[in-house]
Structures are given as C-alpha cells and as structure tokens.
A and B are shown apart, each in its own frame.
Chain A
Amino acid sequence: MTTQAEALSAPQAAAGSGQGLLSWVMTVDHKRIGIMYLITATAFFVAGGILALLMRTQLAQPNATVLSNAAYNEIFTMHGTTMIFLAIMPLGAGFGNYFVPLMIGARDMAFPKLNALSYWLYLFGGLFLFSSFVFGGAPDAGWFAYAPLTEKLYSINHGMDYWGLSVLMLGTATTIGSINFVVTTIQMRAPGMSFTRMPMFVWMTFVTSVIAIFALPSLTTATLLLLLDRLVGTHFYNVSAGGSALLWQHLFWFFGHPEVYIMILPAMGLISEVIPVFSRKPLFGFMTVVYSGIAIGILGFTVWAHHMFATGMAIGALLFFSANSFIIGVPTGVKIFSWLATMWGGKLSFKTPLLFAIGFVALFTIGGLDGVHMAVLPVDWQITDTYYVVSHIHYVLFGGAIFGLFSAMFYWFPKMSGRQLSETLGKWQFWLMFAGMNLTFFPMHMLGLLGMPRRIYTYADGLGWGIWNLIETVGAYLVALGILFFLINFFRTMASPPTNEADPWDAFTLEWKASSPPAPYNFAEIPSVRSRRPLWDEKYPDKADWKQGE
C-alpha cells in the first residue's frame, strides 16, 4: 500500500474552504464537489419527476389532449435522458466523491482538479441539454435515440444535436470521474486496508467505474458517428447511402446494458453499508457479494442484444443472448440472499435508511424477476417495447437505485451536514413513495400484458387500458407527494442548528471516525485499519473482526 505521503503533502488547506460562493466555485475539495453533485442531481431528479407527472397526466385518460404528440415525445425523451444521465449516475458519483476518500482513509481524491472538472462538465452538459427546450426544440427520439429516426431527414430540428453533444459531455465527465475513482481506490487506501478490507460501497463504486471506463467509449463512438451524420453529412446510419440502421443499436446497447449496471451497483453498495449497520451484523459473505458485483460487471458486456430480440437477428445469436441474460440473474440473486442473510438473526432498528434499504430489496426482487421474464426469448417477443418493460425499468431503477440513494441520503446526511433528517417526515416519505411506486408501476405489468406499447402519447378507448393508466397517474402523484416531503424535510433540517454528532448510527466504517462535517483534510492523521469494520473493532475489542480469523 503506498502511504499517503507521496500522494498528498501535510494536511492540505483545501483551496476554497471559505464560505463564499466563489469558494464553492473554485473548490477542489472532494466533499464540496460531492455536495454540489448531490444538490444538482437532486434538482435534475425533481425536474425529471415533473416531466414524468406531465406524461402521467396526459396518459390518465384515453385520447387526452393535455400534451400534443410532439410535446409528449420531447418530454418522455427528456425524462429518460435526465433521470439516467443527470440524476441517478451523478447521485452515485456524488456519494462516491464524498465518501470514497473518507471510507478508505484518504484526504482527497487522486486528482482533485480533475474531480472539479468532471463536476462542471456534468453541470454544463445538463444545463445545455435542458436549454434545448428553449432554443430549437428538445430531443424527441427516445433516450436511446435509435438511428434512422435521429438522422437529419427525420429529426429536422436541433433536438438530437443537443442530445448528442450533451451526452458526449456527460460521457466524458463520467469517464474522467471513473478514472479518478479507480486511481483513488488503487493508490490511496489507508495502511492495513487491503482489497479484502475495503467497504462494500467503495468496492461497488470501483467496479462501477471500471465498467464505465470500458462501456462509455461505445456511446462516444455511436454519438460521434451520429453527430457526423447530422452535421457533416456522412452516412453511417443512413440506409439509402450504404449505412446500417442496426449499427446504432449494437453500439448503443453495448454501452446501454453495462450502463444499467453502472446505475444499480452503487445503490447495491449503499444498501450493503446501511443494512449491516441497522442489523448490527456484518454483511453476510462479503467477498462473494464482491465477486457477484465483478461477475455482473463482466457479464454485463455480453448480453446487450437482449434489448434487440425483435430485430430479427440470427436465432442462434438471440438464444445465446437469452442464455447469458439468465446467467446474469444468478449473481443478482446471490446479492439479494446475502442481504437477507445479513438481516437474519440481527437486531433491526427501523430507521428511515433501513426502511429504504428494505424497500430496495423488496422492489428490486420484483424488478429482477421481471428481467428474467424478458430474458425468455419467445416471451420477450410478446412483451418487449410494451409497458411491461417500463415496469421492469422502474422497479429496478426507481425501486432499486432511487430507494438505495435515498437510503444513503438519510444515512449520511448527519455526516455531511451535522444535522439529522427528521425520522417522522422520513417515514412519511418512505410509505408514500412505496405505496405510490407500487400503484404507479405495478399496473404497468397488466398494461404490458394487455398489449399497450411504450412511448405512445395516447391510446384508443375500449382496449381495457384506461383503468390502469388512471391508477398509475394517482400513484405518480403519491410519489410526487413523497418527494415533496423530502424537500420539506431537507429545508427544515438545514434551517435547524447542527448537532455535529460524529457517529449517530453507532456505525462501523471509517467515515464515522471523522467529525461531522469532516474537516477539509478529513483525518488529522491517517487511521490504520485491521478489518472491514474498524469502528466495530474499537467499540468491541474482544469481539473484533480480525480476531475471528474469518
């Protein structure tokens, strides 16, 4: 393990540790950048949520005229792109930026200036994307922008140019961020912290960063070729002049499927931190859960065409993708069972972080089982591109990633701000979101089975779809109410005086050793570590982990 000396001189007075706005703009402190990531991503999450509400209002009734078809297409494209690129990934990056250095006992990320660059690139990319609403029309070809439709001929306005340029910016920001995480995790761990002793969230952020490093270039290639097609007039996807319509789908989904693991693995890491603390037990089968993360990462690159089962590819290849998609279900199952085994025999205290973590486990199981349904090739021919897929996406991304991220928000809020979010408001938010989420996304299974395609701005009456869409719209407003409770909770707590409690949850990992909020240099002297749960070893020397010789 390289010691800290070479990486960072004595406690570096972090540039911009003052309070003024300029200090925030000029900061390279990983904690401030983490906070800026979290605030910006939450703002984009709320924006994406409002877009979702508009869509649900339009779909509440058959043949509704709340939104025109053009407006609806812009809104569902922006909803997808915002939630994926501007909300879930940056929330994971925000928590990673703030807590990976703290949890591995480092003073900052390996490249602090690069860290600031990736945040500002992300912010500018997001604003640039949203500015498309005002100048020249928002992108309207779906978040995965299939090729011939996004050609200049069929998407005349500049929407897709905005999409392409901002996706390039966001992709570069994520790649730079991932490189920063990989180098920090390899180089700057505390003395004694070998790879087997790193906390699970650090492990999952590491695996996510490696996946991002290998997956994002495929998106960069696809988007560069699309922009060349639209702006220079080349013919990569223009079929009449020799291009190929399927080329975009292959390039995009080779990035697309690892992308969904980039979104879910940090959340899995987060709840692997929360569940042990609130069950008062170590994570069950730690290294097997790590290995299942790595296996998911690798297999993620070999399953991409299960998004393309209906494109009429060779049947042998489709069956191969179907088989690989099944295999990828096994490590996911191992993770779910490990969380259950962690809670088994523990002493569960139902604080809001644990409620969200349990919500994750319960809902992600449904999402995972949906995934298995769609891996079955003949069944997928019936349910792909219908609302069944929309239900699967939202069970794993909303029920999974967002619940995991809210669990971390409540868990680490005391560490970041020195103030604890109110438990009652937190519980209200959880139950509203849980009930709302099920009311919104569960009927989508029925709609998918009833043959309702996705991305349609309206539908005919008398097909039995109206009742379910109405229920979903009610559910959507319930979820919005839950998010409102969170915002109230956030502002009320920030207004109250800080209690600056270093370890409110009596937790195990290194970040609770620092003060709340931690000093710019995190630790006076770098702590040394003898097991996965350094604080547990200190609190219970006789029952210390390293004595167990596990």
Chain B
Amino acid sequence: MGEAVSRPYRRTMPATWWLTNRAYFLFMVRELTSVFIAIYLVLLLVLISKVAAGREAYEAYLTFLGTPAVLAFHVLALAAALYHSITWFNLAPKGLVVRVRERRVPDAIIAGSNYLAWIAVSALLWWVVL
C-alpha cells in the first residue's frame, strides 16, 4: 500500500437517458416533431404534384388523405406542429436581444409578438384557402 491513488469513476449515459426525466423527455418530443413535419411536407409535395397531374389523380389522392390511418397521422402531425410552434416561440427570445431606448425588451413581449404574428398568418392563410 501507500501508493497514491486517483482512479476516477466514470458514469455513462444509457441510450434511454431521455426517458429519465421529464424535461429530457419533452426535449426529445420537441425534436421529434420535426419528423412529423418532414413527413407532412412530403405528403404536401405529392399533393401538389397530383394537382399538376390532373383532376382524377388529385381526387384519388384526396380520398387517400381521407383514409383513417392518414387522417390519424395528420391529427398527430398537427399536434406535433403546434408543439413545435409553442416551443419555438417561447425559445425565440433566447437568441434575440432587442433593445428599445437602451432597455432590453422583455422576453415575454418578444414571445408575445411572435404569437400574434402566428395567429395573424394562420388566419390569413385560412381565409385565402377557404
């Protein structure tokens, strides 16, 4: 004995780390919203190509969109997209520092204006399309 010892113990993160606490889990959900959005974008691109391909193709595709599985996907995708929007707007002030007359604009105001823009854009699109 008598020899000096320093033998640090190293811990590793399990692949399931994101299940170990709520915040990590919500983070993972946030990141995975991107998968739903990507799939949706592909479906949208197909929709546009079907519009180009003609009425029949378009209508057949609408029927496909109406099948329960695809509908269910879109409902989930909508939830994911909403989650994305909310987390995104809440985090947006982080990278952004806005100053008015030497005073930093509070994060809540920046986030708030994002929400307003969101509502306006959504309403506009809804009105244009429908």
Indicate whether A and B interact.
no
Residues of B within 8 A of A (CB): none
